[in-house]
Amino acid sequence: MGNSGSAVKVCTEHQGGINWLSLSPDGQRLLTGSEDGTARLWSTADSQCHGHFQGHESYITFCHLENEAAFTCSADHTIRKWDVMTGQCLAIYRGHTSIVNRILVAKDYLFSGSYDRTARCWSVDKEKQIQEFRGHRNCVLTLAHYSSKDVLDESEEEEEKMSTDLLVTGSTDCTVKVWWVSSGRCYQTLLGHTGAVLCLILDAPNRELFSGSTDYTIRTWNIVTGEQLKVFKEHQGSVICLELVNRHLYSGSADRTVKCWLVDTGERIQTYKAHKHSVSTLKYHAGILFTGSGDACARAFNSKTGVLQKIFRGHKFIINCIQIHNELLYTASHDGTLRIWDIRGICKRNKRRLKKERSVQVRSSQKGSLSRLFNNKVGCMVQQENGECEAIELV
C-alpha cells in the first residue's frame, strides 16, 4: 500500500457542505452544489472557481453539468438552469411541493424526483412541465432513463413502441417503477425489495436494471418483463451506491465494504475492506476502484486483488461524491471543501502491472504444450516473482 495521499489543492470557497459534484461531458468543468444554497463552477485546467450560481432559497441537494448549461435542484422545491459562461439563471422549474432531491438530463428532457412522492418531466428549453409521474407512496430518491427502442421486441404494441422514452424511479416505498414518458403511465412496478431503494444503475443493451436498497440487497431486473433475475445478499448494511463496469458490479454499503459481483453468475468475487464508516460513493478508473466514505477518507484499491493502494486523508466529514479526470481525483465533502489529488503514480503503477500480467499470460499460452506435458501429477508450472514460468518436475 502506498503512503497517504496529499491534496494538490483544497478549494474552500463554499460556506456549507458540498452535496454533489458533476463533471461536464467534455471534461473541462466541474460543478458543485452546496448546503450554502449556491453552486460553483470549476475549471479542470487550472482548478479555479469560474462561476458562482446564486438564487436558490435553500440548500442544493444535487446538480448536473452539461457543456453549456448547469442544472441544480434544491430543498426550496425548485430546479434551476444556469448559463455556464455568464452565471445567469436561464430558467426556474416550479411545480414540486417538497424537496427536489434528484435530477437527470436526457435528450431534451429534464427529469426530477422529489419528497412529494412524484417524479416530473420538463422541457429543458422551457420552464414547462411536460409530464408528472404519480404512483409512489413515498419519496422518489433515484432516477434512470432509457429508450424503448433499445430493449423492446416486435411483440410489443405499436402504440407503446412510439413512446420511445422511459423513466425509472426508485422510492422509499420499497418499489421501482418504470414509466412511459409520453403518457405518464406506469409500465412496470418491480416488487421484491423490503427497504427503501437508494440507488439504480441501468444496462439497457442487456435489458437489465440493478437496484440497491436499505434491505441490504442488490436486485437485478429484466426491464422489459419486470422479472427479478438475481438477488445479491452478502452485504450486512444498506446498499448506498453502485458502479457497473465490464459486467462487473461494484456495490458500496453502510457495512463499510465494497463488493464486486459477476453480473452473469451472481458470484461475489471480491470484497474491499479498510473503511471505518459507510461507503458513500465509488468510481472505477483504469483498473482501480476509488471510494469515498463517511470516515472522511477516499481510498484506492486494486480492483482485481482488492489490495488497498492509497488512502487520501484531509477531509473532516463524509465524502459525498468523487470524480476523476486527467488522472486527478476530485473529492467533495460535507466539510464544504473540494479537494484535488494527483493519482498519476497509482495509475502508472497499475498500468505497469496490467502490462506485466498480459505479458505473463502471453508467455503462459506459448508454453501451453509444455504445461500439458507436466499434467497427471508428473510435473507443474511455477510462476516466479519475475513473471517467468519455470517447469518443475515432481519427484
- The reported pLDDT for the residue numbered 129 is 96
Please state, rounded to an integer, the average pLDDT across all residues of the chain: 88
pTM comes to 0.86
- The reported pLDDT for the residue numbered 162 is 56
Would you tell me which CATH number, out of the four given (2.130.10.10, 2.60.120.10, 1.10.3720.10, 3.40.220.10), belongs to the domain 17-149+164-295?
Answer: 2.130.10.10
Please state the domain extents for the chain: 17-149+164-295
- With contact defined as beta carbons under 8 Å apart, do 200 and 170 qualify? yes
Contacts for 185 with CB less than 8 Å, ≥ 6 apart: 179
- The reported pLDDT for the residue numbered 381 is 32
Percent of the chain exceeding pLDDT 90 equals 80
β-strand partners of 120: 112, 132
- The reported pLDDT for the residue numbered 249 is 98
Cell output for 31: 460543478
- The reported pLDDT for the residue numbered 187 is 93
Cell output for 80: 434551476
pLDDT one digit per residue (tens) for the chain, 395 residues: 445 567 899 999 999 999 999 999 999 999 999 999 999 999 999 999 999 999 999 999 999 999 999 999 999 999 999 999 999 999 999 999 999 999 999 988 999 999 999 999 999 988 899 999 999 999 999 999 999 887 766 555 444 445 489 999 999 999 999 999 999 999 999 999 999 999 999 999 999 999 999 999 999 999 999 999 999 999 999 999 999 999 999 999 999 999 999 999 999 999 999 999 999 999 999 999 999 999 999 999 999 999 999 999 999 999 999 999 999 999 999 999 999 999 999 988 777 666 666 655 544 444 443 333 223 323 333 333 333 322 222 21
- The reported pLDDT for the residue numbered 394 is 22
- The reported pLDDT for the residue numbered 148 is 80
